[in-house]
Amino acid sequence: MTFAAVIVAGGAGARAGQGPAKQWRVLAGKPVLRWSVEALLAAGAAELVVVIPAGETDQAAAALRGLEGWTLTPGGATRARSVQAGLAALASPGENPVLVHDAARPFVGRRHVAALLTALADADGAVPALPVSDTLKRGAPDEGVSTVSRDGLWRAQTPQAFRLDGLRRAYAQWPADSEPTDDAGVVERAGGRVVLAAGDPLLMKLTYPEDFAMAEALAGAARLTRVGQGFDAHRWGPGEAVWLCGVRIDHDQTLIGHSDADAGLHAVTDALLGAVGEGDIGDHFPPTDPRWKGAASDQFLRHAADLARARGGVIVNVDVTLICERPKIKPHRQAMRARLAEILDLPLDRVSVKATTTEGMGFPGRGEGLAAQAVVAVQTPA
């Protein structure tokens, strides 16, 4: 189902302690805001508006560098006004679903979105919620307290799902002198029917300094590690140099192929595409297409990396093995690692290039061609 999304990242996060506003803080290697943007884009958001504090465009651009499909709009003095600013910035059809999400809940995933859209099918709003499990007390710390029944009580989370026009109309009816605690309350007051979807402890909200420590521990549980493998081989032919893992090596032959025949980059590209379920290199760059004749293979690998990141993927590491009798790979191995790290924007210690021979056996052993195999690990939203 097509949906739009508004991510509210307009607060100062004063209760989160000293340092930058919480949406700009780094969680498990990524800005907090980036977690939600990646996840909602990966879940299929056709349009995504991020509401930020006025004057903080540079921070947002840095946090979301390399991602596509989002726009920014300045927020208001309150969360409700920021939500309304985000809704006003959307160009999606009014009958389409819209998800409103707080950037301070970084672990949203595809399954949360799917559950909300299903629940919204016959309602005006859908909210992920968890039953209250703790005993509730009413009173002041230094006074007598009374126990409050927790029967029928739920903890509401975000994202929350609505029809775009319905949520806009509900906000237009909300009293100007009152601040809603969530968007579902706005729709409820306007007479809309809001239903509950399954909540998730992973949809925790980052509010206090100790929440960040807990989120760091939970970060791994909010991601799936997916592994792809790739294999490529090319035969030798007349030439004076060969391209391997993005590095030109002088040689008395070259590898024959429609592009530059860089078997190393081709294997990594296939492994990366496989890790995110995007087919293989031939699906994206057919050898029958004259545009790719003699093309540099680094553009194939960048394309695969962009696809992975568009799905919210983070490339963890790359391991390549070149299988050949010649040329000698060891003198060029560090340059190959550096080139792969550059193409994929990875630290050098997350890229490995190795070489082996087949002890004279098979087509590599007979000097007929060269082969490469690669393994790539990618973390994606759960």
Q: How confident is the model at residue 29 (pLDDT cuts 50, 70, 90)?
A: confident
Mean of pLDDT values over 326-332: 96
Mean of pLDDT values over 364-372: 96
Cα 103 from Cα 9, distance rounded (Å): 5
Q: Concatenate the DSSP letters of all residues of 266-334 into one string.
A: HHHHHHHHHHTT---HHHHS-TT-GGGTT--THHHHHHHHHHHHHTT-EEEEEEEEEE-SSS--GGGHH
Cα 145 from Cα 147, distance rounded (Å): 7
Burial class from Cβ neighbours inside 10 Å (0-12, 13-18, 19+) for residue 189 reads middle
Q: Could you give all domains of the chain from N- to C-terminal order, each with its CATH number?
A: 3-135+152-207 (3.90.550.10), 223-381 (3.30.1330.50)
Tell me if 203 sits within 8 A of 112, measured CB to CB: yes
- SS3 (DSSP) at 217: helix
Residues 6+ away with beta carbon under 8 Å from 138: 145, 146, 147, 148
pLDDT digits (tens, 9 = 90+) for 238-271: 999 999 999 999 999 999 998 999 999 999 999 9
Q: How confident is the model at residue 205 (pLDDT cuts 50, 70, 90)?
A: very high
Look up residue 298 and give its amino acid. D
Integer-rounded Cα radius of gyration of the chain: 26
Look up residue 376 and give its amino acid. V
Mean of pLDDT values over 314-341: 96
Cα 277 from Cα 226, distance rounded (Å): 10
Structure tokens at 282: 């031939």
- SS3 (DSSP) at 183: helix
Cα 109 from Cα 99, distance rounded (Å): 13
Across 5-19, 94-108, 314-328, least confident range: 5-19
Mean of pLDDT values over 321-331: 96
Percent of the chain residues topping a pLDDT of 90: 79
Q: How far is CA 261 from CA 47, 231, 244, in A?
A: 38, 13, 8
Mean of pLDDT values over 328-357: 96
- SS3 (DSSP) at 378: strand
The per-residue pLDDT for 142 is: 78
Q: How confident is the model at residue 19 (pLDDT cuts 50, 70, 90)?
A: low
Q: Checking DSSP bridges between strand 45-52 and strand 70-74, what pairing results, if any?
A: parallel
Tell me if 264 sits within 8 A of 244, measured CB to CB: yes
Average pLDDT, the chain: 92
Mean of pLDDT values over 273-278: 95
